């Protein structure tokens, strides 16, 4: 499996690659022309407990719907590994760091953690999170 050298997104299908070119080192979200959609990316890699992948995905889809409606989000999606259906990758692209920080400040003020109780019960361990500035 190849991962994007910019954001770390797993690139599993041809359409995941910049320009649908499997030889590209960048994903569709970080490749040529993508920088106009946002200057900051955030991601999480989560692993569900055995038998809980469908439950986790259901909660993640609701979270994704909410994420897409946030001010400053230009793109967001969930991916599921075809090799291990218990592994999920979430990705969101933000207009800029200020938009991301504003949403995080509201979540912190509401005591709304990134991993809520509705999702934590389905996870094997702590998710891997990342935040990256889009450079090019």
pLDDT of residue 114: 53
Q: In the chain, pLDDT over 70 holds for what percent of residues?
A: 89
CATH topology of domain 39-133: Alpha-Beta Plaits (3.30.70)
**Cβ–Cβ under 8 Å, residues 61 and 45:** no
Taking residues 18-35, report their average pLDDT: 76
Q: Where are the domains of the chain?
A: 39-133
CB 37 within 8 A of CB 53: no
pLDDT at position 3: 86
């Amino acid at each position: 499996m190849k991962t994007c050298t910019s954001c770390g997104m797993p690139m599993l299908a041809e359409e995941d690659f910049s320009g649908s070119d499997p030889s590209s080192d960048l994903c569709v979200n970080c490749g040529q022309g993508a920088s106009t959609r946002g200057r900051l990316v955030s991601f999480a890699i989560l692993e569900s407990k055995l038998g809980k992948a469908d439950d986790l995905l259901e909660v993640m889809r609701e979270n994704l719907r909410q994420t897409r409606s946030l001010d400053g989000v230009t793109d967001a999606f969930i991916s599921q590994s075809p090799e291990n259906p218990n592994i999920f990758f979430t990705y969101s692209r933000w207009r800029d760091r200020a938009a991301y920080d504003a949403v995080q400040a509201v979540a912190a003020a509401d005591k709304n953690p990134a991993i809520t109780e509705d999702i934590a019960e389905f996870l094997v361990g702590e998710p891997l999170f990342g935040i990256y500035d889009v450079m090019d």
